[in-house]
Amino acid sequence: MWCVRILLTFLCVRYWGLGLRAVWYCMIADNVCKAVLFAVPFLTKRSRVRRWLGSS
């Protein structure tokens, strides 16, 4: 996750010349990536349980 937050922020500010708004967008992108990666195991486990029970 440091890759998203730090690297993307560094690129936005240093090389692309974007401002503070881009830094905040990078922080939001990092939080969204964390939320998706955190939710994936729960969502896949739920679908496996449904298949095991035979309901769709």
Specify the pTM: 0.68
8 with 29: CB under 8 angstroms?
yes
Closest CA to 12 of 31, 37, 32, 30: 30
Tens of pLDDT, residues 5-55: 898 899 999 999 999 999 999 999 999 999 999 988 877 776 666 666 665
Question: What pLDDT is stored for residue 56 in this prediction?
Answer: 52
Question: What pLDDT is stored for residue 39 in this prediction?
Answer: 86
**How is the chain split into domains, by residue range?**
2-53
Q: Is 26 exposed, middle or buried (0-12, 13-18, 19+ CB in 10 A)?
A: buried
